[in-house]
Amino acid sequence: MADERELTYIGAVAEASRTVLLEQENAFIAGEDVAGAGGVFGSYRGILDEFGDQRIVDTPISEEGIIGLGVGAAATGLRPIVDIMFMDFMGECMDEIANQMAKMRYMFGGSASLPITVITMSGGGINMAAQHSQSLEAWICHLPGLKVVAPSTAYDVKGLIISASRDDNPVFVVLNKLSLRNRGHVPEESYTVPLGEANVVREGSDVSIVTYSRMVGESMTAADTLSENGIEAEVLDLRSLQPMDTEAIVESVKKTQRVVVVHEAVRFGGLGGEIAAQIQEDAFDYLDAPVARVGAPFSPVPFSPVLEQAYIPNAGRIVTEVNELLNAA
């Protein structure tokens, strides 16, 4: 495995974007600072030079205009990739997301297709405070018509972006800021990670940790710690949040009988509640304990590094939660 090709998480975005533009002549990228600057995180470095300013377009700081551009272009036959720099900015464009993008096909009786990929960033940990650190995936998972993925590895970033771009529906690819420099194996060729399929990243028999995005890494660290104490946790990376791989969740629950759902988003009203509900609907009889949840407290993301560290869930909290769950049973 040592000679496997590696890329960073953010490098995988650039490679996926390039792959999509090569594969699909109707694909283009639009967003703030994407072309000339190559994306504020370097997501699109080199794309402008290779493809020219018709295929990658700098937009004004106009999120509603950007999403509208994507909706109109997609409805009329193009396959836009639009970049919303931070998902916190969805507030600026929620009408075009919720009332136009998500619903147009349905309202039109199925006559329109909207093959749009929205690439955006979630998560805290880099001291960007309350308006640049949120994990708002629950907002968009609540909207019928949208698909949402949240990759945890560079491999999944590339595979999910390529899948999203080939899908004829709007797909949000929710990336994570603190993961950008993480390196991982990424094949050079084009490949897909299917939408709606979770990934068992660690097998275990004592407890299932159901998670996604950067919390997959924290969960893996937690699992190592737990393993030292003889607890074998299974870690399920959902990868897709909408549609969600309920079957994979249920399979894991059947195996371990105990579940902790982990996400960086605020716990109240977060996806953990939905996942817990699905588990009790589909696998209640297999549960030996109530479904536990780890998420951020009910507060805006704080600025001070000390406060922010106290805010964001981490491996230690996951270990504590798992231990409490197992002790309660």
Catalytic residues: 132
Query: Which residues, in sequence order, are bridge partners of residue 80?
Result: 28
Q: How far is the CB of 130 from other proteins (least distance, A)?
A: 22
3-state secondary structure 144-157: CCCEEECCCCHHHH
Instruction: Strand 292-296: give its sheet, edge to edge.
Output: 199-202, 233-237, 207-211, 259-266, 292-296
CB of 197 to other proteins, least distance (A): 16
Q: Quick check: 64 binds other proteins (CB under 8 A)? A: yes
Is residue 65 part of the contact set for other proteins (CB under 8 A)? Answer: yes
- Over the window 161 to 180, marking each residue x when it contacts other proteins by CB under 8 A and - when it does not, the resulting string is ------xxx-----------
Output 51 or 155, the one with its CB closest to other proteins.
Answer: 51
Is 110 a residue that touches other proteins (CB under 8 A)? yes
Given a contact cutoff of 8 angstroms between Cβ atoms, the answer to whether 75 and 87 are in contact is no
Phi, psi of 231 (to 5 degrees): -105, 125
Closer CB to other proteins, 99 or 229, in the complex: 99
- The DSSP letter of residue 73 is H
Taking the alpha carbons of 198, 202, 204, 208 in that order, is the dihedral positive or negative? negative
Q: How far is the CB of 128 from other proteins (least distance, A)?
A: 24
Distances from the Cα of 2 to the Cα of 5, 108, 202, 231, angstroms: 9, 52, 20, 29
Closest CB 144 distance from other proteins, rounded Å: 5
Among 40, 42, 45, 57, contact with other proteins (rule: CB under 8 A): 57
State yes or no: residue 23 binds other proteins (CB under 8 A): no
Site for other proteins in 70-109 (CB under 8 A): 70-78, 80, 95-96, 99-100, 104-109
Q: Is 34 helix (H, G, I), strand (E, B) or coil?
A: coil
CB-nearer residue toward other proteins: 49 or 95: 95
CA end-to-end span of the chain:
40
- Closest to other proteins by CB, 69 or 222: 69
> How many residues contact other proteins, by CB under 8 A?
44
Cis peptide before 151 (omega within 30 of 0): no
Closest CA relative to residue 118, chosen from 102, 99, 134: 102
Decide if residue 32 touches other proteins (CB under 8 A).
no
The residues that touch other proteins, with contacts defined as CB under 8 A, are: 26, 28, 54, 57, 59-60, 62, 64-65, 67-78, 80, 95-96, 99-100, 104-115, 144-145, 147, 167-169
